[in-house]
Amino acid sequence: MAEMTRKAFVCGHPIAHSRSPKIHGHWLAYYGLDGCYEAIDVAPADFADFAASVRAGRYVGGNITIPNKEIASQAVDRLDAAAKEIGAVNTLWVQDGLLQGSNTDAYGFAANLDDHAPDWSAVPGAAVVLGAGGAARAVLFALKHRGFSDIRIVNRTPARAQALAAEFGPAFSAHDFGAANALLDDAALLVNTTSLGMHGETDIAVDLGRLPVGALVADIVYVPLETPLLAAARQRGLKTVDGLGMLLHQAVPGFEIWFGVRPEVTPELRGLIVADILAKAA
Ligand code: ATR
């Protein structure tokens, strides 16, 4: 009997903006696989029913995006360590009739830096992370697991940074933006996880001139590809990595689980998504 076409999904609310179908569609065609990957709008109130339909075999698995990542971590049957600690599921699949949930955002963040700044965690020094939301949690998880032992969380609302630092452990400390500049003097890495820069805001209130010469500045925002923070860092001669690679790399583990081939993040794939970003900005 011929095997049925494997179907995977990305679900969010809204979902039309998602670039995941382009990424997975590219890989399905490139590797010549009998599979499909579709975007579905699922409102949070409908997520439990949707999850039940996946468990019953409607899909082999899929990606979960805003605003369903936290709800998904409640709805699945088993969570891996990353999903548990980050508190959100972005990738799920069915195994032995059970829904398994993972979070590949931390993997995607680290793999992107491995790709574009290979020695970024060779000597894990001090790191400054701007933001304390869901995206920050994935970055903090990645830094912890790469051995960073002095991770400084800077956030507009100090209570959120304090809560994260308390939860993630003694290597983490919480600060407000007023104290941020002094934290940069000996930092090897600065990461923006806030939404600042997405709408062309120019003033992330940190003085990049305080960073050491060899420091790396990374943004997880990828529209625009070069955020004002990255542009300012580049103009100062600092190393920079944009956020698009995180999106591409976080997609790898799910594709491998659903379709059985570990896909590669290639310049061709990146070019495809860059073209889409530029087309939509035009
Ligand atoms: P996500 O899941 O994408 O991280 P989030 O949980 O809403 O989204 O978190 C957004 C982050 O961007 C937070 O750290 C937020 O700061 P607050 O906790 O103080 O809200 C930060 N952020 C958003 N807009 C900001 C702004 N104009 N200035 C400073 N920080 C901002």
- In Å, how far are 91, 103, 217, 230 from 45, measured between CA atoms? 19, 21, 38, 38
pLDDT at 201: 63
Distance 237 CA to ligand 1 centre (A): 27
- CATH code assigned to 6-103+247-281: 3.40.50.10860
pLDDT at 188: 97
pLDDT at 205: 77
Residue carrying structure tokens 């800077």: 154
pLDDT at 196: 84
pLDDT tens by residue, 64-109: 999 999 999 999 999 999 999 999 999 999 999 999 999 999 999 9
With a Cβ cut-off of 6 Å, ligand 1 is lined by 131-136, 155-157, 160, 193-196
pLDDT at 200: 66
Ligand 1 site-directed mutation target among 195, 199, 201, 219, most atoms within 8 Å of CB: 195
Q: Which residue, judged by its Cα, is nearest atom 21 of ligand 1?
A: 194
Residue 2 has pLDDT above 60, yes or no: no
Assign a CATH topology to domain 107-242.
Answer: Rossmann fold (3.40.50)
The sign of the CA dihedral 203, 109, 174, 159 is positive
In the chain, CATH 3.40.50.10860 sits at 6-103+247-281
In the chain, CATH 3.40.50.720 sits at 107-242
In whole numbers, what is the pLDDT of the chain averaged over residues? Answer: 96
Rounded Cα distance between 202 and 204, Å, is 6
Tokens describing residue 228: 């004002």
Tokens describing residue 146: 């790469």
Task: For residue 97, give the DSSP letter.
Answer: T
Is 69 a catalytic site residue? yes
pLDDT tens by residue, 195-246: 887 776 666 779 999 999 999 999 999 999 999 999 999 999 999 999 999 9
What kind and span of H or E run contains 35?
strand 35-41
Q: Which residue, judged by its Cα, is nearest atom 8 of ligand 1?
A: 133
Tokens describing residue 180: 């941020």
Report the largest interatomic distance among the alpha carbons of the chain, rounded to a whole angstrom: 66
Distance 186 CA to ligand 1 centre (A): 25
Burial environment of residue 135 by CB neighbours within 10 A (0 to 12, 13 to 18, 19 or more): buried
pLDDT at 202: 62
pLDDT tens by residue, 163-197: 999 999 999 999 999 999 999 999 999 999 998 87
Ligand 1 site-directed mutation target among 152, 194, 198, most atoms within 8 Å of CB: 194
Distance 269 CA to ligand 1 centre (A): 29
Residue 49 has pLDDT above 70, yes or no: yes
pLDDT tens by residue, 109-158: 999 999 999 999 999 999 999 999 999 999 999 999 999 999 999 999 99
Distance 46 CA to ligand 1 centre (A): 26
Residue 254 has pLDDT above 60, yes or no: yes
Q: Which of the following is catalytic: 7, 22, 69, 144? A: 69
Percent of all residues in the chain with a pLDDT value above 90, rounded to a whole number: 93
